[in-house]
Amino acid sequence: MRVRVQPEPFDYGAECAGFGQGGRDVGAVVTFLGVVRDDSGALARMEIEHYPGMTEKAIAAIAEEATARWALADVLVIHRHGALVPGEAIMMVATAARHRAAAFAAAEFLMDYLKSRAPFWKKEYGPDGAEWVAAKDEDETALKRW
């Protein structure tokens, strides 16, 4: 299990290459990349604030729960903070399991929990100023299925 919280960009291809492979018990690898989307058409940039210390611990706890629940052979979470522009990669998760159902479910579980249980806050900057992104009710609802 690896968790990285960093301001620098990461190389999605390089991270995916070789992830979870090489062992005899892995039959499925699922990877997910989160990208900065511009819904308004006028997003200049996004600033992601986080809580150093708690962020790493919270993500590790979520990743450990996923590992135990779906018997993952490996899990990787990378989440950036700081300034990002539309089209840039914000975060990625990768899961490796015996079967694809477990790898997909664990990746979705990780994404749902990272959205509302990892201490990150997004602020969007556009021509009319800056605004904090509000948490959505459906993000909280999404946790109930787990």
Partner 1 sequence: MIEVLYFAWVRERIGVPREKVETGAATVADLVEELKAREERYAAAFADVSALRVALDQELAEFSAPLSGVSEVAFFPPMTGG
Structure tokens at 17: 């290459």
Stretch of 10-18, 23-31, 67-75, 120-128 lying at the interface with partner 1 (CB under 8 A):
120-128
Is residue 34 a contact point for partner 1 (CB under 8 A)? yes
Which of 4, 45, 98, 123 touches partner 1 (CB under 8 A)? 123
**∠ Cα 26 28 29 (to 5°):** 105
Residue 33 φ/ψ, nearest 5 degrees: -120, 125
Between 59 and 96, CB nearer to partner 1: 59
Q: Quote the Cα angle for 46-30-120, to 5°.
A: 25
Contact residues: partner 1, CB under 8 A: 34, 49, 51, 53-54, 57-58, 79, 90-91, 111, 114-123, 132-135, 140
